[in-house]
Amino acid sequence: MNKWMKKLSDNMSDDFAKRHNEEHCVRSVLTDYHFGDGSFIEVELTSMDEVKVWFYHKDPDVDRPCSNIEQYILDNLPHWDDYKDEYEEMLMEDEWQSHGFRNEADYLHYRYG
């Protein structure tokens, strides 16, 4: 996975967590990645693993598809459940750390015996 795809995935993960904190029933997440030259893409991932990609070129008169980039995103963007699992792991880690435990195993032992 190249650098911009990693950043796009990280943005998606951050936006997923933000949306989930704001509303508990999240069905889609929209994020973007700016290439630094005035062009950017927006990517929407739904809970049904549907991916939509929009391209915005720095020249508004240019309206060409970027099928290679779109296919690369489709092939490399993690699935909805991956983001959901990552978010739930983050919540669990926050929970045991906020109670002063060294690790998850200690917290689970304390909580469940």
pLDDT tens digit sequence for 78-93: 898 998 888 888 877 7
Task: Note down the domain range covering 107.
Answer: 3-112
Find all residues with CB under 8 Å of 96, minimum gap 6, and list them. Answer: 103, 104, 106, 107, 108
Q: Which residue has the higher pLDDT, 90 or 46?
A: 46
Percent pLDDT > 70 in the chain is 96
SS3 75: helix
Residue 25 · residue 16 · CB < 8 Å: no
Residue 32 · residue 42 · CB < 8 Å: yes
Domains identified in the chain, total number: 1
| Torsion angle (degrees, nearest 10) of CA 93, 95, 96, 100 | 120
pLDDT exceeds 70 at position 65: no
Paired residues of 56 in beta bridges? 40
pLDDT tier for residue 55 given thresholds of 50, 70 and 90: confident
| pTM of the complete model beyond 0.75 | no
